[in-house]
Structure 1
C-alpha cells in the first residue's frame, strides 16, 4: 500500500472500531470506490492491536481494578462492584467467542458483500435510533446484572455480521435494557478488550503462515490506529449524553444509502 492508504485505513479503523457506525462498512468503501487493494491480514492484525492498546490505556485504572478485584473475589469469595463487573464482562464475551468459532468461515465466505453491509448498516442504524429514543436510560453500570450482561453479550455476537458494528449493537442492547447512554457505552468499550484481544490473537496465528511481513507498514498502522481510537473513546464519552445516538444513526442511513447507490450503479 501507498503511505496515504496506510494512514487513511489506520485512522478509519481506529475511529470506527468504537463509534457505532461499523468499521467493515467503512473499510469496504476505499476498495469499492477508489479501487484500493485489500489491506491484507497483517495490516488487520496491526490496526486491531492499535485499537486494543488504546482502550486498555484509556481504561487502565478500570482494567487494573477489574483484574485485581475479579481475581481477588475468587480467592476470598467477596466481590466488589469492580470484581462483579469483571465477571459480567467475561460472561458477556462468551456468546461472541462461541459464535466466532462456529460461524467465522461461513461469514467470511458468504456475508462479506456490499449488499449485506448496506442492509445491516441501515437496519441496525434504525434500531440504534429507536433504542435511544425509547430506552428508559435510568440504569447505571453498577446496576447491571448477569441477565442483562448476557443479553448484551448475545447482541455482541451479531457484530460478526459485517456492517453491524460491535460498539453499535452492544450500545443498542444496553439502551434497550434501560441503561444510561454513558453506562452502555462504557460497558461496550470494556467488553471490547477481551473480544479485540481474542480476535488479534487468532489473526496473529494466521499471520504466522505469511513468508513476508511489511513491518514498517504494520508499526505505522498500529500507532495511527491507537491514537485515533484513543481520541475517539475520549470524545465519544465526553459528548454522548449531549448529542445522543441520532447523529450516528443518521450517518449510518446515509452510508447505507451510498453503499446501495454503489451496488445498483
Structure 2
C-alpha cells in the first residue's frame, strides 16, 4: 500500500506541476497580447495618420495624356490630345545613344499604390541607333500596372479640349508597360509621365516623359517645344469615373 500511495502521490505532483506550467504559459500569452495592444495604441497616438492612411487612398481616378498645345500666331490657344513626347538614352560618357518618341493616353486609380486597374497605351519609336541591343524600331505599348502616383499643385490657364473628365492637375506617375515591336517581340519597361502646369506648379518638376525598355533607360527628358512637343496633362476625377 505504501508503494502504491507513493506512486499516486508522485503522479499527482507531476500533474500539479504540469498544470502550473500551463497556467504560466497562458499567463505569458495574455501578457504578450496586452503588451502588443498597448504598443498599438501608443503607435496610433503618436502617428494616427499611418494607422488610418489606407482609408483615404484610392479616391477617384486619374487620366493621363501626352498632349498638344495649339498655337495661333505664336500664342497658345487651347489643349488637345494627340501629342508626342521624347527622351534620350546615354552611354557611360553621357553621350546620347538613342531617342524614344511616344504618344499615349490612359487611366489609373488615384492612389500611390501598385495597381493593375489601369487602361491605355500608345505608340513608340526608337531612333538614332542601329545597334540591335539598343532596340531600334517602333510599335505599340500597353500600360499593365501603376507603380506610383503623386499629384502636385498647379492650374491650367488654357481652354482644355482633351475631353477628359475631372480637374487638371500637375503630378508624377510611373507606369509599367509592355512594348511590342513590328515583329511581335515583347519587352517590359516603364513610362514616367511628369506634368508641370504653367501656373503654381513646384519649380522642381519637369514637363515631359522618361522611359525604359528592358535595360535601356531613356532618362534624359527633352524640353517642351511649340505645338505637340513634350507636353503632358493629368485629370483627377473624384467620382471614379475617369476617361477611358
How would you bin the TM-score normalised by the shorter chain? under 0.3
TM-score (norm 2): 0.23
Higher strand share: 2
TM-score (norm 1): 0.21
Higher helix share: 1
